[in-house]
Structure 1
């Protein structure tokens, strides 16, 4: 099995144990940022996996031979100092960090993701079924995570989306999809704006908690429009709503203009599809 395939298999299995995987992420992040040298890395992982022989064997595959405790150490050339190929695991760590950050306030999503990994690893789901499950769990608004999941955990030759023929019907279907997506975003934007205004009014009267006013959909939409800053905006909203709310309302108003412009553009294309 090639190194990428081994990495995928190792990470899938490790993710079935969230506590251990979380500690593994911490160790690998420390190594990636040079907080740990190679010797410290091996010590930390040997300690972490000491009661899990399969994990010990699994991670040692990525070490140079002279660092594998289970193998005799060959003489090391003074001209060449080998680094562990554990760096091949880094994209998987980065991906899981993204998932945890994106859904920091939606623990259910992370649990359903891990359950899908478990079923995939145990053979209860095929690649296509796992892909379809992840599309539902993450949602269309997180297509970047869906694509990354497909690439990393289903393999480079996983599911490939079929290319549609360039026909009038396909164009119309595509525009219908875009219109639907824009309608959904306009609706979510309006709901989030109404929630923000209601909370703003409440704060002028007395302090209150944002979860009373913002649904999971509204929180998710705000996180979406702020992209990488989404989680920090939600945290700041919880900690200091009086300061953050005006900024969110301004952002939502700006987003409405963008969405309406897109909606009108698609509407015009739909009326004149031959253009």
Structure 2
């Protein structure tokens, strides 16, 4: 049996289900929409999408498995997998360079830079999940897609 590509109505139904499931947490729905836009525009890879969806919908087996419909052939989210996809390896100097780029870009708006640094510390200390960081960085750098794209390389 050949799997059919999902239709627009399949996508709309899935989004409606997600939106209803998270009525009290609209940021999750917005995160999913941004993730789908980035995935469709190829700003983020399939393995990264899988990692973020598993974290975003943690505890929501139906939503995680339902997302498989939209993954390219050869990819599937398996809940029994305990290992996350291997992240792109970036060095310490790459991270320092990126943080300096953010600092320079926002030298006239230190609130953005300080917020970014606070988010990094919160993630490092386990007080923010990967999906929360992804969502917040998208909002924080909304007019700076190049920074968003570069930042994705640092996500685990």
Q: Provide the TM-score with structure 2 as the length reference.
A: 0.38
Q: Which has the larger radius of gyration?
A: 1
Which structure is richer in relative contact order (CA contacts within 8 A, separation 6 or more)? 2
Structure ranking higher in helix proportion: 1
Q: Provide the TM-score with structure 1 as the length reference.
A: 0.23
